[in-house]
Structure 1
Amino acid sequence: MRQFTAVVNPTAGGAAILHRVAPLLRAAGAGLETETGRGLAHAGELARRAGERGRVVLAVGGDGIAGAVGGALSGTGTVLGLVPAGRGNDFARALDLPAAPAELARLLLDGIPRPVDTVELVSAAHDRAVVLGGVYAGVDALANRYANRARLLRGTASYYAGALRAVAGWRPAGYRVTVDGEEHLCRGYTVVAANSGYYGSGRRIAPGARVDDGLLDVVLIRHAPRRLFFALMRELDAGTHVHRPEVRVLRGREIRIEADRPLPYGADGEVGAALPVTAKVLPGALRVLY
């Protein structure tokens, strides 16, 4: 029977969600201990220590803690399980995880670990991080920052309000995007290098992306009138925006994103650095229950 260590983000409501799943795990005979992360870096440390003891690590929270825990476990062989309890839960959505506690508990107890890709990011300061969903640079990173600061809105509503605020003050940026050594120029709103197809609480930014194909889908959204961009935003729910001429999709293993002015980039629901950034896929580096 599996032995679990749950690393919980208390600010995302993780404790309440875990409270519904934990009795089901224990009733089946599984061992479960709980650790509370005091931040994303601390959550990663807790995950590594638990993995070194041979335990299955559960990331309980949203995309931030899933990315911090998954990044810390990338390449270690430790098995990761997700208990979605955050604002967006986009990586869990990409894995098609069940929402019902009983179904999720059964998956965690009996599921077979499967390899997924992770993404290594290298910043301008040569800082390194490993994330799960990918990286996005431009107006969507600003929208993410505004959503994270929202107090009265949650989920899709917070991201949509953040996007309205970000687009209202946006001016086109000039991007240089290098995909496996080939340079592409784009002037517009954003560049996304996606491992997961989802971001922004369920928006299908890269509908063709797969978490286990060893590739990143690179989505470039060129400049367009704001009214057209808002129409494109609505199409993100179904992923049909990729058919517009303003949108270009590339694929590759290593992507460098640069811009003609300082722009923020985000990953796994967190925004904290500025371009340039290099994203490199790490094929099959993480074992996940899904």
Structure 2
Amino acid sequence: MRQFTAVVNPAAGAAAGAAALLALARHLREEGADLRTEYSRSLAHARELARAAGGEGRVVLAVGGDGIAGGVGGALSGTGAVLGLVPAGRGNDFARALGLPSAPAALARLLLHGESRPVDTIEVVSATHDRTVVLGSVYAGVDALANRHANRSRVLRGSASYYAGGLRAVTTWRPARYRVTVDGREHSHTGYTVVAANSGFYGSGRIIAPDARVDDGLLDIVMIDKAPRWMFFALMNELRTGAHVRRPQVRILRGSEIRIEAHREIPYGTDGEVDAVLPVSVRVLPGALNVLY
């Protein structure tokens, strides 16, 4: 029987995380599984807890949203340890990309009896040469600004917070001039954002890169060009289905190593966390993480 360590961040979505873990724990323990719970103080602490549990051969459960999933998954990348996700956050986009069941009983069956499969991860190197590894995407532009607004919202939750954050960000955004280098080839871009996507989803279920796959060894680079604000609002609605990729203002490239630079200070985010500005270098790590899905 598998042994599990659940890593929970009580400071972010505490009630939702506790409820999701409680519902799941009953099913795991009924089948005789060993489950420990570790409460982290920060993402850095969550990474430490994950590496320690993975080193003991335990399945590490990331309980929460994309931030904790990316932090824990990134810590386990390249170690051979196995990750399980317990979606309980604002976005849950990587769990959505994996097609994880939402019902606790079905998720427990998967965690208890499913086979782990390798997925790609993303190595991110900041302007100050800090290195992190994440799971879903790196995005630089108006969406990172919107994400920052959503994270700071004390009233709205889930998709509503992202939509409100997006409206606030777009109304003040000035198109930025980017230099995007994909596998050594340079591309000029003026517009709203550049996204390097491992997962097709971001921003609480929006389909930014419909053809992205978590196990193909490549990132989909989505660039949204300069356009009137009314068109960008229409494009935001099209992100629900992925129809935006048919617009001429959207360019998609594919590659394994990407560098994103801009002529002014532009924020970028990774898996729901926004705490840095361009430039940033991104590299896919093929099959680096074992995940139960």
Q: Could you say which residue in structure 2 is the equivalent of 1:212?
A: 215
Q: Distance in 1 between matches of 2:251 and 2:141?
A: 15
Tell me if structure 1 keeps the 8 A contact 2:221–2:252. Answer: yes
State how far apart, in whole Å, the 1-side matches of 2:248 and 2:274 are.
Answer: 28
Show the counterpart of 2:5.
5
Gap regions ≥5 residues in structure 1: none
Number of aligned residue pairs: give it.
290
Question: Any conservation in 1 of the 2:137–2:202 contact (CA below 8 Å)?
Answer: no
DSSP 3-state at the match of 2:52: helix
Match of 1:110 in 2: 113
- Share of identical aligned residues, percent? 75
Q: Tell me the residue number matched to 2:259.
A: 256
Report the Cα distance in structure 2 between the residues aligned to 1:52 and 1:102, rounded to whole angstroms.
27
**Whole-angstrom CA distance in 1 between matches of 2:109 and 2:259:** 40
Which residue matches 1:242? 245
Q: How high is the TM-score relative to the length of structure 2?
A: 0.98
1:78 is the counterpart of 2:94: no
CA RMSD of the aligned region, Å? 0.5
Which of 125, 128, 132 is matched with 1:129 structurally?
132
Deviations 1:175-215 (A, max 9, x none): 10000000111100000000000000000000110000000
DSSP 3-state at the match of 1:142:
helix
Aligned partner of 1:59 among 52, 58, 62: 62
Does residue 232 of structure 2 align to residue 229 of structure 1?
yes
Q: What code does the residue aligned with 1:175 have?
A: Y
Is the 2:43–2:71 Cα contact (8 Å) retained in structure 1?
yes
How many Å separate the matches in 2 of 1:269 and 1:77?
Answer: 25
Distance 1:39 1:203 in 2: 27
Distance 1:269 1:238 in 2: 20
Shift of 1:144: 0.1
SS in 1 for 2:148: helix
Report the AA paired with residue 8 of structure 1.
V
Find the counterpart in structure 2 of residue 28 from structure 1: 31
Q: Deviation digits for residues 20-78 of structure 1, max 9, x if unmatched? A: 00010011011000000111110000000001111000000000000000000000000
Secondary structure of the 1:80 match is strand
Q: What displacement does 1:16 show?
A: 1.2
Superimposed CA distance per residue, residues 68-126 of structure 1 (whole angstroms, 9 cap, x where no aligned partner): 00000000000000000000000000001000000000000001000000000011111
- Distance in 2 (CA, whole Å) between partners of 1:217 and 1:210 is 9
In the other structure, the counterpart of 1:46 is: 49
Q: TM-score by structure 1 length?
A: 0.99
Residue in 1 that maps onto 2:98: 95
Moved over 6 A (4+): none
Q: Check if 1:277 corresponds to 2:280.
A: yes
Distance 1:36 1:143 in 2: 28
